């Protein structure tokens, strides 16, 4: 079995606890307006075809550096390739390596549920709480992600939530309150990260000949980030 892989990051520090080996998988069903990796969307555009054993060989090269961290699979949407991740995570668990998945929560089936049994932490992007705005932002429905977080709560799987703060799209006070109210019911949420929107992916869109609809959107100010943080904290969320 081969995995379609976009790239690796040997010393990631933003994809879970500690220093991590990050595997960026190819393929994604979402079409987020602010995506900074649109080159991961199509499965056929992968840079590498590798087996779980071959990827694990790469991981072992830096094992001493990731001892206090672990391995994170990201994307794209990694759970499009659940079979591959299952085998990779089994190898990681045999070697006592911490495992994390960075996902949109769009896919939940029996194979994904099996992967989650070998997963120590889920980094989950709940990009919006308003279903219409979510669809405008991602071109996909919100409901699968809500089912995903509810399932994670059901099995008591540790979760770090991510929320990208985009001026004019995800910074509405009412929406932030609704989002915080919804996710605050889950006892398995260990951390919430507000990620300020940035323009760093724009060159990839241009290289691919795609229209980047957010080119006139600015990065949120320190005050706007603080305001959003305070709203989330008012629901006792670990921001």
Given CA atoms 163, 13, 233, 166 in this order, what sign does their dihedral have?
A: negative
Q: Which helix (H) or strand (E) holds 12?
A: strand 3-12
Q: Which two tokens stand for residue 126?
A: 């709940």
Instruction: Calculate mean pLDDT across residues 135-140.
Output: 97
Q: For residue 98, what are the CA distances in angstroms to 92, 115, 198?
A: 7, 13, 30
The reply to whether omega before 76 is within 30° of 0 (cis) is yes
Query: Taking all residues of the chain, what is their mean pLDDT, rounded to a whole number?
Result: 96
Sign of CA dihedral 6, 8, 14, 20: positive
Q: Is the pLDDT of residue 82 over 90?
A: yes
Contact 231, 225 (CB under 8 A): no
Quote the pTM value: 0.96
Report d(CA 76, CA 39) in Å as an integer: 9
**Residues 14-67 pLDDT 10s:** 999 999 999 999 999 999 999 989 999 999 898 999 999 999 999 999 999 999
236 sits in the region (left: phi over 0; alpha: psi -120 to 50; else beta) called left
Structural domains of the chain, ranges and CATH numbers in brackets: 3-233 (3.20.20.70)
pLDDT (0 to 100) of residue 58 = 97
Above pLDDT 70, what percent of the chain? Answer: 100
Number of helices and strands (H, E) in the chain? Answer: 8, 8
**pLDDT value at position 201?**
84
* pLDDT tens by residue, 147-204: 999 999 999 999 999 999 999 999 999 999 999 999 999 999 999 999 999 988 899 9
Mean pLDDT of 204-214: 92
* pLDDT interval class at 137 (50, 70, 90): very high
């Amino acid at each position: 079995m081969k995995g379609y892989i976009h790239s690796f990051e040997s010393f990631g520090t933003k994809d879970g606890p500690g220093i991590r080996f990050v595997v960026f998988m190819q393929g994604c069903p979402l079409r987020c307006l602010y995506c900074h990796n649109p080159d991961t969307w199509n499965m056929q555009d992968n840079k590498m075809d590798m087996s779980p054993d071959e990827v694990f060989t790469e991981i072992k090269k830096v094992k001493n550096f990731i001892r206090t961290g672990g391995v994170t699979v990201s994307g794209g949407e990694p759970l499009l390739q659940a079979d591959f991740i299952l085998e990779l995570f089994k190898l990681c668990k045999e070697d006592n390596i911490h495992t994390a998945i960075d996902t949109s929560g769009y896919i939940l089936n029996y194979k994904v549920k099996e992967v989650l049994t070998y997963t120590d932490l889920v980094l989950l992007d709940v990009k919006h709480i308003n279903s219409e705005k979510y669809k405008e932002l991602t071109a996909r429905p919100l409901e699968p992600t809500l089912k995903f977080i509810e399932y994670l709560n059901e099995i008591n799987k540790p979760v770090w939530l991510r929320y990208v703060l985009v001026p004019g799209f995800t910074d509405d006070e009412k929406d932030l309150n609704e989002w915080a109210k919804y996710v605050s019911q889950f006892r398995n949420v260990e951390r919430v990260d507000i990620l300020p929107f940035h323009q760093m992916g724009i060159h990839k869109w241009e290289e691919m000949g795609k229209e980047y609809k957010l080119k006139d959107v600015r990065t949120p100010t320190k005050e706007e980030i603080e305001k959003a943080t305070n709203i989330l904290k008012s629901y006792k969320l670990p921001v």
